[in-house]
Amino acid sequence: MNKLRSVSFWRNFKNVIIFLSFTSLIIVVLFTYSLKKKQGYSLFVEFHNAFGVSVGTNVNMRGINIGSVKDIKLRVNTVIVLINIKSTDILIPKNSIIEATQTGLLKDVTIDITPLEIINTNESFHIDHFSNYCYTSQVLCNYHHLYGERGINYDDLVRATTRISQRFDDPRFFSLCYLLIQRLNNISNIMLNFTYDVNKITFLMASYLDKYVIENF
């Protein structure tokens, strides 16, 4: 009797251990998936210049912050920027433009991602950014390597404005404008005289036709 109880106890104990192990495994898998989701995924973006980008620079898509710059490495001819997308729920089409944009008087720099196509969300929503299958999809995957461009730059705008103002301060510019206005005025006078002559000729021809019709008919 005691032997049967002992066998039954160990059998139940074994089932409990198996159940707890299976439950723990599920919890670990769910926790790992949740942690990956919260940590997001990373992308490498290559620029030929940093353009003011630094660690912590915001990454925006359609005007909404989706991540930040985690690291920057200088190469011989380029700059490699590691950006972190803060959630795996954020889907970025492979066909996108990535620009380092500088705006505002404080020269705030952001990395703007502009999608150039619409992706099929039904097919892409459940894609694992860390799987090999992701690389055959329409969206960017973990550690994808991309090429960035220079976007709107406030310094360029200031430089262009300065050049325009310098052109207005140049006496040769005003001389050229005065000469152009004078030429346009001469052309307008010529056109006015031409119009007057055409009108006069038209009037004489109409008078001649009226006289001819009256005399012959």
Burial 88-98 (b: 16+ CB within 10 A, else e): bebbbbbebeb
Q: What angle do CA 159, 165, 167 make, to 5 degrees?
A: 105
Ranges 3-17, 120-134, 155-169, 201-215: which has the least confidence: 3-17
pLDDT at 152: 73
Of 46 and 18, the structure prediction assigns the larger pLDDT to 46
- In three-state secondary structure terms, 68 is strand
Distance, in Å, from the CA atom of 37 to the CA atom of 126, rounded to the nearest integer, reads: 12
The closest of 70, 43, 48 to 57, measured between CA atoms, is: 70
Tokens of 153: 């730059």
pLDDT at 140: 93
Residue 49 C-beta-side C-alpha neighbours within 13 Å: 8
The closest of 132, 141, 39 to 84, measured between CA atoms, is: 39
Distance, in Å, from the CA atom of 57 to the CA atom of 68, rounded to the nearest integer, reads: 5
Give the start-to-end residue ranges of the domains of the chain: 1-37, 41-153, 170-216
The length of the chain is 217
Are 97 and 113 contacting, i.e. CB atoms less than 8 angstroms apart? yes
43 residue type, one letter: L
pLDDT at 82: 96
| Confidence category of residue 84, pLDDT binned at 50, 70, 90 | very high
Tokens of 38: 């919260």
**How many CB atoms are closer than 10 A to CB 36?**
16
Rounded average pLDDT over 58-63? 93
Rounded average pLDDT over 165-184? 74
